[in-house]
Amino acid sequence: MRFKEIKKVLLIILFLNWLVAFAKIAIGFFSGALSIMADGLHSLFDGFSNILGLFGINIAQRPADKTHPYGYRKYEALAAMGIIFLLIIAAWELSKGIIERFISPMQPEISIFYFLILAVCILIDWLVARYEYKKGVELKSTILIADSFHTKSHLLMTAAVIAGAIFVKIGLPILDPIVAAMVVIIILKLGHEIFEEASGVLSDKVVIDNEKIEKIANEVEGVSSSHAIRSRGDENHTFLDFHICLNPGLSLDNAHNISFAVKEKIRKEFPQIQDIVIHIEPKTDEESCVCK
């Protein structure tokens, strides 16, 4: 993984997020619009998530060693879990604002100039989310993809704040908290998607379909069957181990060559696999190929 490039992307995103944050906080302060002020504070959370991502990457980039023979990649998933925590905070704060808005409707005084600044902020958020997701896929980074989802949630929140202000101005204040409630649902959905991906890595969820591995292994000449297939990691950094059954009369050299052929065939199909461990067992039943 190109960790230096990932850190460069996070630094760029951090600068843009805080640029947007300070612009919104300033608008909220001068206009008296608490919703925009809160939105600006949420943008600050975006920056904190970038810092959290940098922390995770600095640990994840460490090479495997005696104490961590599989490397430190799971720290990236842990950092992604931290972003979920920030998403929950954002959803909670917005939910409190929704309740307050139902109880005491407010009408922020926002000029056209402020609307233009917010429109530019939305454009920046959209470009940031798109850029970060694209780089996350390109660099195969879980943290960049997760953080792009967080930025998307902020983009939706800003749009909802503007829509709510417009609804209030045209005499439909009740639609403001309703739109905000929809944003909360979207934020929670994004958080659930990040949780599924990160928790799968942390809990060693199956990454590759066992049947695909079994099919590839059994196609190699000399392999009677395969079983006990286990994969873990993430889609871009996977570890695999399984058993194959061979004729007990084979020499050690021939058995090793067959095992090597199986590894090469699997690596060709799944280049993201970092390590493959194959346990060789003697075939004990001609018909069922049951292994010991």
Q: Does residue 76 sit in the same domain as residue 188? A: yes
Q: Does residue 169 sit in the same domain as residue 74? A: yes
pTM over 0.85: no
The CATH number linked to 231 is 3.30.70.1350
DSSP secondary structure letter of residue 234: E
How confident is the model at residue 288, as a pLDDT?
Answer: 52
CA distances from 131 to 13, 90, 140, 229 (A): 9, 22, 14, 37
How confident is the model over 186-211, as pLDDT tens digits? 778 877 887 888 888 888 899 999 99
Q: Does residue 276 sit in the same domain as residue 145? A: no
What residues are paired with 223 via a beta bridge?
A: 246
**Residue ending a domain, choose from 202, 232, 248:** 202
The count of domains in the chain is 2
Which carries the bigger pLDDT value, residue 75 or residue 224?
224
Of 110-124, 132-146, 178-192, the least confident: 178-192
Radius of gyration over alpha carbons of the chain, in Å? 26
Sequence-separated (6 or more) residues with CB below 8 Å from residue 81: 195, 198, 199, 202
**What 3-state DSSP class applies to 131?**
helix
Would you say 24 and 118 are in contact if contact means Cβ atoms under 8 Å apart? yes
**What 3-state DSSP class applies to 64?**
coil
How confident is the model at residue 107, as a pLDDT?
Answer: 64
Question: HSE on the CB side for 213, CA within 13 Å?
Answer: 24
Q: Does residue 190 sit in the same domain as residue 125? A: yes
Q: Does residue 174 sit in the same domain as residue 234? A: no
Q: Is the pLDDT at 286 greater than 70, yes or no?
A: no
Alpha-carbon gap, residue 177 to 221, rounded angstroms: 65
Q: Does residue 41 sit in the same domain as residue 120? A: yes
How confident is the model at residue 215, as a pLDDT?
Answer: 92
Of 15-29, 179-193, 202-216, 217-231, the least confident: 179-193
Would you say 90 and 45 are in contact if contact means Cβ atoms under 8 Å apart? yes
How confident is the model at residue 255, as a pLDDT?
Answer: 93
Q: Does residue 139 sit in the same domain as residue 8? A: yes
| E strand spans, the chain | 223-234, 237-246, 273-282
Q: Which domain holds residue 220?
A: 210-282
In a domain, 291, yes or no: no
Confidence of residue 117 (pLDDT cuts 50, 70, 90): confident
